[in-house]
A and B are shown apart, each in its own frame.
Chain A
Amino acid sequence: MAATVTRRRRLRPAELLTEVVKYTVLIAVALLCVIPFIWVWSSALKSPTEIVNTPLALPAHPTLDNVVKAWVQGRLGKYFFNSVIVAVPIVFLTVALSSLASYAFARHSFPGRQVIFYLFLIGLVLPFQSIMIPLYYTLRDVGLLGTYWAMIIPSTALGLPFGIFIMRAFFQGLPFELSDAARVDGCDEFGVFWRVILPLAKPGMVTLGIFSFLGAWNSFLLPLIFMQREELRPLVVGLMFFQSRYTSDYGLTMAGATIVSLPVIIVYILFQRQFIQGLTAGALKG
């Protein structure tokens, strides 16, 4: 981790100039990333008159009126609940099924192992568009359309290739002596998985769980097609309709944007380390 090139000595003028330019660029980009967030969150706390008079200033008289109105009248509270109700099973199922499958892929040998693994890898390059149309009619025919399952099941299935890819790499990194020892002690295969390997794989599961959560929370096209009933809308889709209805009321729409963005930013900040690790592990090993 500490491979960063750092040198501590007095700088010559040319070097000093380089340093100044470097920090200016980096900080300017950082501001471009952050200012929109500050604008969204502070607009949410402003009264309509304040929005008009001082659009760019921080709120002088913060009020939660917009947030309450968006939550109750705009039904974002209901949509928030919908998002949680689909995200929790998606995260749970994706982590559980990916862990089970990648355990066998990583630590067993059996006929067809490579073929089945490659079959899952196809899913990594398959765009959602290539399955969405028949999937819509399949879900309709089996009666899942118009229920939360219409989002839970396809999202889980679509998350499996990435999940298996990540968890397999994780399981391969665990020492094989451990499972051999457990087998000698009389553990059956599921016992080895459940009692020995899985507890060690917690960091990998946390990483995958965060990915699944953010994916489910921000997923747009899938619920746009499969969750067309108003009372099933997840927060993101709900926000889009909410925003187009109250376009001119900046305070209100930004309150909606705050309700959508704050949870993901909190999750991201809290689990940043695992998240970045998972991202880079997947990318660098692949």
Chain B
Amino acid sequence: MATSNVTMPAQAGSTPRPRRTPRQWLRRYLPSYLFILPALVLYVVFVLYPFVSTIYYSLTDWDGAQPVKRFIGLENYQHLAQDRLMWLSLTHNLIWIAVGTVTPVVIALVLATLVWSGVRGRIVFRTLYFMPVVLSTVVVGMIWAWIYHPMFGPINLMLRAVGLESVARGWLGDLTWALYALLLAGLWAYFGFCFVILLAALQNVDIELHDAAKIDGANAWQRFINVTVPQLGPVLTMLLAYTLIGGFNVFDIVYIMTKGGPANATEVLATYTYTMAFKQNQVGYGAALTMIITVLSIVASFLFITLRERNEPGIQ
């Protein structure tokens, strides 16, 4: 970042300050606290407190109705370790992350680079690519349910038209393919987000460095890998981490399109949690499940960001 000469507010403790009486202290700082108070109260009561409660709930066998929550220690977690459906769901989340994290970012990166390299109608492409992102997941689900329709879906119509009748199937009802069908729908609805961010990040890429590499005889691909991508490093990290977290708590598209079926073939941690906590009233167990989602997503994103930062000294 360029050095800015904007006057920063005096940092607390940066200069030795005379001791204040409580009254002076209050007069000095009260306005600041009053500005923050409404947001802080709402945030603490409706976000932080429930979060801490989740940890507590996960240590009980509460069913949502009993007046007292019975403390059972780590029993829920012991059950989870032997819960076949939990492991199956987690596997699906991991597949979702493996396929769904890199793919949209790579596709968006390629498209953004193409647009950045100079095309007419940059804004038009940006507008169109982003349209699916603002669409409600329910509508995304309806569109893709039609695309995958066993009889009149365009995919099956095309397969039959080229004589691949045996490949055509009800994609969302297929035990092997349902999860990937959801991933594709999710990709359609998400890549535009990555595209917009990467396109903006590309505007900051140093063109002189690019031209220098060109003079040195680097071809387009080499320039892309050695000049463009490293400069996008921080943004790519942020995008990948953000997408990764999304992979652990994916819910909407799965619940809307398959509800975790057929036969749990698309069950993910979040849909399983929803069923447990709100359909079967196993509140304590559901809370333990949400703790898994929470811990995994937080740990994964931290690991990811620290790893990246260690590999990229000098880039903030």
A residues lining the B interface (CB < 8 Å): 1, 3-7, 22-23, 25-26, 29-30, 32-34, 36-37, 39-40, 55, 97-98, 100-101, 103-105, 107-111, 113, 116, 119-120, 122-123, 125-138, 153-154, 156-158, 160-161, 164, 172-173, 175-177, 188-190, 193, 214, 217-218, 220-221, 224-225, 236-237, 239-240, 243, 250, 253-254, 257, 260-261, 264-265, 267-269, 272, 276, 279-280, 283-284, 286
Contacts and interface: CB of A to CB of B under 8 A. Distances in A.
Interface residues of B, number: 94
Interface stretch (B72-80, B200-208, B307-315): B200-208
B47 A131 contact: yes
Q: Which 9 A-B pairs have the closest CB atoms?
A: A134-B53, A280-B200, A157-B46, A104-B35, A130-B294, A131-B50, A127-B249, A101-B39, A189-B31
A127 B269 CA distance: 12
Contacts of B45: 157
Contact of B51 (A131, A154, A220, A261): A131
28 contacts: A5-B207, A30-B124, A33-B128, A33-B131, A97-B39, A97-B42, A100-B38, A125-B245, A126-B294, A128-B249, A129-B294, A130-B54, A134-B54, A134-B287, A138-B50, A164-B39, A189-B32, A224-B255, A225-B274, A236-B138, A239-B139, A260-B136, A268-B134, A276-B126, A283-B235, A283-B238, A284-B201, A286-B238
B245 to A, nearest CB: 7
Interface string B18-54: 0000000000110111011011101101111111011
Provide the main secondary structure of the chain B interface: helix
A225 B118 CA distance: 47
A271 B137 CA distance: 21
B40 A116 contact: yes
Contacts of A34: 128, 131
Given A6-B118, A40-B143, A107-B9, A284 B204 contact: yes
Contacts of B298: 125-126
B129 interface: yes
B98 interface: no
Contacts of A153: 42, 46
A190 B31 contact: yes
B230 interface: no
Given A134-B50, A176-B7, 15 more contacts: A22-B119, A26-B119, A33-B129, A39-B146, A111-B29, A126-B51, A129-B290, A133-B50, A134-B287, A138-B50, A160-B39, A225-B278, A240-B256, A260-B136, A280-B201
A40 B146 CA distance: 10
A240 B115 contact: no
A126 B252 CA distance: 17
Contacts of B278: 136, 225
B197 A283 contact: yes
A256 B29 CA distance: 52
Nearest to B132: A33
Given A33-B132, A257-B142, A123 B54 contact: no
Contacts of B256: 220, 240
